[in-house]
Amino acid sequence: MAGVESEMPESPGASPLGALLRVRDVVQSDAARWLAGLVLVTLASWGRCLATGSPRVDGNYPGEGVGTVLLLVLATGWALAVVGWAGLLARPPEQPRRLIYLGLLAVAPMLPLLSNDLFSLLAQASLSAQGKDVFTSAAAYPQSRWYAWIGERWRQSPSPYGPVTLLAAWPSVLGGASAFRAEVWLKLTWLLPLIALVELSLRAFPARPAFHAFLWLNPLLLVEGAGQLHPDLLGLLLITAGVLLARRSPGLGGGVAWSLATLSKLSFGLALPWFWLHDTRDANARVRRAGVLVLCFAASAVLAYAPFWRGPETVLGQLRGLRANTLVAGGTLADVVGTVAGALAGEQGTGPIEAFDPQQHAVRARATQLTQLLAMLLALAAIVPLGLGLLRELNEDRLAVATGAFIVAVATLASPRFQSWYLLAALPFFALRCPEAWRRWWPWAALTSVAPEMANVLPRTAFLFTPWALTTLASVAVFFVWFRARYWALLPRAAEASAGARQ
């Protein structure tokens, strides 16, 4: 037997070649690409901070050579993360918990990189925590230690954030005058509920790995939410909590969660169709649910606005802040057409972000307005089939897809301004149900929507800055990819033929 055993071929798994093959398989896996990409994005954020000496983004750019290297690292990392995520969507891991926490660990140390919004939030949170008014006007901003960190464009605008967002940002004042400590406190405050929701969703949907792959492994959530701390993360967490609560308390529990999400940022109110129609069987049930939602929203608004209330102007001022955010089209079809029209008319560029001038060239303004009207008509053309499909047959899968598609249509087409983090509001509903056309679309949307924001690692005079702005055109083009299959599939005649595999 010893002779026979000595002549048996060595097991590939026990040989050096077998070990190399295992290493190769790991490196080439979707999870490895995804995780490596997230790590590279985090490293780029630290590289930017070290190169400039500060975590501030607007008005604080590295030199052209360093910035170009950072741009290449950032673009490579983001591409790897999205490509890996696309593979994980196609083959969701049966046990996603480990990957979820590895992803959170990879992005937790991330510094501001893709936008300067964090410092506006820190300023408004610190002022409001001291009893200063940030909703009716921006008069109190100069009293904040973060005033110099706010981008020039936003120094005259009241807070566009809802009261829930400011309340949730109050712990950042524990960081004092240190940007690093303030961010650490804010991350702890926001990531702990995220972890709790991860655990609750893993228990609520143990046999739905696609739900967790789409939501918790999503690079948009991890980078723009957990990494960059955009307040849209709060809305997403509250909407997800509402989805989980609605399984036991579709009226009260879901209603409170939706109300708080809307009061964190008004765009999350677009999730209303799901919270109104979920688990209703007839018109009477929908009337009762509508009443519950109204009461939940009214009670939540009274409690959330109480620490900030200075009369109706508190709400009106917040609406003015939101309007200031969308005063000029950006990242949309109207923005692209307006820019081209302005260039043809002789307009000399758009100027740096911090030196924004609202008095744009008249030709550009007219082109932007006309194109925005067209975009709103296109959004209407996308939204109407969603409603027709629900009228034909209201079921949970159709409702989830219609709500998510409705949010995307408004964010990408109807809104005059678009940023990648606007898409976070739709994620919980596509996690519930994501037809094939949408599953193909989401990685492209994630890949292109973040690309224009990467220009923040470049000085405005850099050779690549203007060419890189063309990525906005690619992002806008993706808005229309598979348009018919994504929106019109819910039309009565097409619904059966276009339904994707249930997650």
State the pLDDT at residue 323. 74
Cβ within 8 Å of residue 33, ≥6 positions away: 80, 81, 83, 84, 87
C-alpha R_g of the chain = 24
CB atoms within 10 A of CB 182: 25
The rounded average pLDDT for each run of 10 residues, N- to C-terminus, in the chain (503 residues) is: 40 53 59 98 97 93 95 97 97 96 98 95 95 92 93 86 96 95 96 97 95 98 97 97 92 95 96 95 93 97 95 87 69 81 64 44 77 90 88 88 96 92 97 96 97 93 87 93 89 47 44
State the pLDDT at residue 348. 58
**Beta carbons of 108 and 223 less than 8 angstroms apart:** no
| 3-state class (DSSP) for residue 245 | helix
Question: Which token pair is 355?
Answer: 């030196």
Question: Which token pair is 419?
Answer: 């940023």
Residue of 178, 209, 171, 214 lying closest to 193 (CA atoms): 171
User: What's the CA gap between 271 and 279, in Å, rounded?
Assistant: 15
**Beta carbons of 318 and 159 less than 8 angstroms apart:** yes
Q: Is 176 left (phi over 0), alpha (psi -120 to 50) or beta?
A: left
| Residue 175 DSSP symbol | G
- DSSP code per residue over 468-479: HTTHHHHHHHHT
Cβ within 8 Å of residue 22, ≥6 positions away: 13
**Beta carbons of 420 and 454 less than 8 angstroms apart:** no
Phi then psi for residue 471, to 5 deg, are -65, -25
User: What's the CA gap between 83 and 45, in Å, rounded?
Assistant: 20
| Residue 330 DSSP symbol | B
Identify the residue whose tokens are 């008249």. Answer: 362
| Residue 132 DSSP symbol | -
Half-sphere exposure of 106 (CA within 13 A, CB side): 26
Identify the residue whose tokens are 């260039």. Answer: 343
Cβ within 8 Å of residue 399, ≥6 positions away: 273, 274, 277, 278, 390
Task: Give the dihedral sign, CA 335/336/340/346.
Answer: positive
Q: Counting beta carbons within 10 angstroms of the beta carbon of residue 53, is it exposed (0 to 12), middle (13 to 18) or buried (19 or more)?
A: exposed
pTM: 0.89
Task: Give the dihedral sign, CA 13/17/23/26.
Answer: negative
Question: Which token pair is 92?
Answer: 């969701």
Question: Which token pair is 282?
Answer: 């007839």
User: What's the CA gap between 155 and 465, in Å, rounded?
Assistant: 25
User: What's the CA gap between 60 and 66, in Å, rounded?
Assistant: 13
CA angle 119, 123, 125 (to 5 degrees): 110
CA angle 51, 53, 59 (to 5 degrees): 90
Question: Which token pair is 446?
Answer: 């994630």
User: What's the CA gap between 422 and 230, in Å, rounded?
Assistant: 10
| 3-state class (DSSP) for residue 459 | coil
Phi then psi for residue 235, to 5 deg, are -60, -40
Residue of 375, 457, 450 lying closest to 413 (CA atoms): 375
